[in-house]
Chain A
């Protein structure tokens, strides 16, 4: 059962999960999880590996659909609309709920084409100059513009790991999503690149609802406003980040934060 911190102020919710369970075949990976994702804030999911935090994140933009054996129960709403209802189109959903993966995965195309990919498939621009503008704005917002503006036609894969990850963030921003899901975005990066991504997350948080999965408690403490602690497929505790780290209520949370396991 989730323990929610008592003095948590209500925020404008962007997404809301209600009694969500995820199964892989017969195995239950997520057990009855309920949580609200506030708009324009950063929510962090922490927990030991295998606790289901990434699985839950993938349920938020239906990326679990790509795994044939995966099955989702319960209700996840985006602006009050159930994303698993028949009326919700998965393409539209994913355009609204973007995702950044653990390992940077730029497409084997030029930097420009990587960013332009989303706007092109969704057709959200009128003419070439609009597209140029979207690419430039996205790269600027991702803090990558100054580094790549002279080599937009270079392949995206030629960038360094940290630059690739920022490229992927820029790629997600380019379709102007409402929510950005980040699945351990810094786990493959060195500390300097990590610092830049964290800086970027802080800047983006005013515009988008951001959900970040991380196994680094320091990172969660640095970038997030709200934190949910996952353990064995459940949310054990949910509250303001500062509260979770300084005044944990549950014993399991305390153990995890003090480094007994994880």
Chain B
């Protein structure tokens, strides 16, 4: 409806502008279309604002008028029953519910639908009045020399700026929500117990009023995260990703590159849930069987090694493309200089290109680590939920992200420290990845600038 009103304003203002132009016999300062937009926006923005406000306040107004009526006297005194009855009556009145059996709600239905209809009409009337007033005011301002265009463009700019602020809002939204919930968690469990404790076994069924802080030691999670994401995955991803990039850029025949590169891109596009399934179904049993066959008896079928290996494979394309970009940024002159000295290609790569590209590569590896420790699905599906502080990669281990998922998909209520601990873990994860990304991006940026 609002759109219709705005459209009407747009059309009438545009035709008005055409008439203005015809009457005055000279060119307008702005094209007629802009006059149309000007009036249209003048109608659209205030009415939308009004509709939003009205949506927020009208339920309250409806409720007041219903409670003020005579049928409200029959309502039960008990708060919860009273609210239930009101809610059900409203649901039936709006058509969200087909019928209700609540005897308290039944007499309330008719007053509710009356009040709803009444306020609906008031709302529509107010909308039309506001639209009309705004439209008329802006319409009257249309003159041949009126700069409608600049005004419309100012609105466009404001919208653009608002759009680019969304990123900032979400960053702050993330920060605020994490800090808020983490703070609630730290009111129940001391940060020291959380950050330095070595035993993790929150009990979501325990009494939330009196949590056992010794069960909230997150060190085993940090250790598991680092071992899987920053050690095992990187042992796979860094050498293979680097060598892939080197081979593709320095040695491969263009025809080989033409199909090997898309293969890497497909590997990068595989959803993590698929990797997780692959890890859990194929890789983990394979590793356990392998370990058993060489005589390691206590190998877990949810070993850190399986999750780390598959995560490493997932990261290979990422490392490879970062290394590719970094090496490509090294000026050709360096390569020529080394080759002209009689160095072989591999000597040139090892002694000149890679050292020259090192800042970019290091930045890329940091981004890769940040991605690996924040990766969730692979570890949720292939790693364990049991927190072990062990150096043996064949043991089952858990990670920060696994515990976030475990705590938030469990049975605990949202006020329970076990649930809130997920936010504290998320906060730590956010801070660490933020720091890694920030440093990595500035390293990469400085590196790019050095060769530009």
The reply, when asked whether chain A contacts chain B directly with Cβ atoms under 8 A, is yes
Interface residues of A (CB under 8 A from B): 61, 63, 66, 68, 91-95, 98-99, 101, 103, 105-109, 117-118, 121-122, 168, 171-172, 175
Is there an interface contact between B343 and A101, defined as CB atoms closer than 8 Å? no
Closest to A113 in B: B351
> Known contacts A103-B333, A122-B342, A171-B341; is A108 also within 8 Å of B347 by CB?
no
Do A92 and B336 form a contact, CB below 8 Å, given A107-B356, A108-B355? Answer: no
CA of A101 to CA of B340 in the docked complex: distance in angstroms? 9
Judged by a CB distance under 8 angstroms, whether B344 is at the interface is yes
B271 within 8 A of A: no
A168–B341 alpha-carbon span in the complex (Å): 10
CB-defined contacts of B339 to chain A, threshold 8 Å: 63, 66, 94
Contact across chains for A117 and B351 when beta carbons are under 8 A apart: yes
B336 near A105 (CB under 8 angstroms)?
A: yes
The answer to whether the Cβ of B337 comes within 8 Å of any Cβ in the partner chain is yes
CA distance A117 to B377 in the complex (A): 47
Q: In the complex, given contacts A63-B336, A93-B342, A107-B355, what are 5 additional A-B residue pairs having Cβ atoms less than 8 angstroms apart?
A: A63-B339, A95-B341, A101-B337, A117-B341, A121-B347
Taking the closest CB of chain A, its distance from the CB of B285, in whole angstroms, is 46
Query: What is the chain B residue whose CB lies nearest that of A109?
Result: B355
Q: Which residues in window 317-360 of B have CB below 8 A to A? A: 331, 333-344, 347, 351-352, 355-356
Cα-based distance from A78 to B387 in the complex (angstroms): 70
Assess A121 versus B351: contact at CB under 8 Å? Given A171-B341, A172-B341: yes
Query: Are A101 and B336 in touch, CB under 8 angstroms?
Result: yes
**How far apart are the CA atoms of A61 and B343 in the complex, in Å?**
13
Given contacts A108-B356, A109-B355, A121-B347, contact A95 B342 (CB under 8 A): yes
Size of interface on B: residues with Cβ below 8 Å to A: 19
Q: A107-B356, A121-B351 are in contact. Are A175 and B337 (CB under 8 A)?
A: no
Contact A94–B344 (Cβ < 8 Å):
no
Q: How far, in angstroms, from A243 to B43 measured CA to CA in the complex?
A: 86
Is B351 within 8 A of A94, CB to CB?
Answer: no
B337 x A107 contact (CB < 8 A):
yes
Are B342's CB and A105's CB within 8 A?
A: no
What residues of A have a CB within 8 angstroms of the CB of B333 in the complex?
Answer: 101, 103, 105
| Cα of A6 to Cα of B356 in the assembled complex, Å | 51
A171: which B residues are within 8 A, CB to CB?
337, 341
Chosen A-B contacts, 18 in total, with CB atoms closer than 8 Å, are A63-B336, A66-B339, A94-B339, A94-B340, A94-B342, A105-B334, A105-B336, A107-B337, A107-B351, A107-B355, A107-B356, A108-B334, A121-B343, A121-B344, A121-B347, A122-B342, A171-B341, A175-B342
Most central of B254, B331, B337, B344 by chain A CB within 10 Å = B337
Interface of B, secondary structure class, is helix
Q: A109-B355, A121-B347 are in contact. Are A98 and B336 (CB under 8 A)?
A: no
- Minimum distance in angstroms from B341 CB to a CB of chain A: 5
List the B side residues contacting A118 at CB < 8 Å.
Answer: 341-343
Q: Enumerate chain B residues within 8 angstroms of A122, measured Cβ to Cβ.
A: 342
Q: How far is it, in angstroms, between the C-alpha of A93 and the C-alpha of B338 when the chains are bound?
A: 13
A168 interface neighbour in B331, B337, B352, B355, Cβ under 8 Å: B337
- Given A107-B352, A108-B355, A108-B356, are A121 and B341 neighbors across the interface (CB < 8 Å)? yes
Report how far A61 CA is from B342 CA in the complex, Å.
Answer: 9
Q: Assuming A63-B336, A168-B337, is B356 touching A121 (CB within 8 A)?
A: no
Known: A107-B356, A108-B356. A121 touches B337 (CB 8 A): no
- Which of A95, A105, A109, A175 contacts B331, CB < 8 Å? A105
Given A91-B342, A121-B342, A175-B341, CB of A66 within 8 Å of CB of B336:
yes
A218, B355: Cα distance in complex, Å: 39
A99 touches B355 (CB 8 A): no
Query: Nearest chain-A residue to B348 (Cβ)?
Result: A121
Question: A156: shortest Cβ distance to chain B, in Å?
Answer: 11
Contact (Cβ within 8 A) A105 B343:
no
Assess whether A98 is in contact with B337, with CB atoms less than 8 Å apart. Answer: no
Given contacts A105-B334, A121-B347, contact A98 B341 (CB under 8 A): yes
* Chain A residues, CB < 8 A from B341: 94-95, 98, 117-118, 121, 171-172, 175
Is A91 a contact partner of B336 (Cβ separation < 8 A)? Answer: no
Which residue from B340, B343, B352, B355 sits with its C-beta under 8 Å from A63?
B340
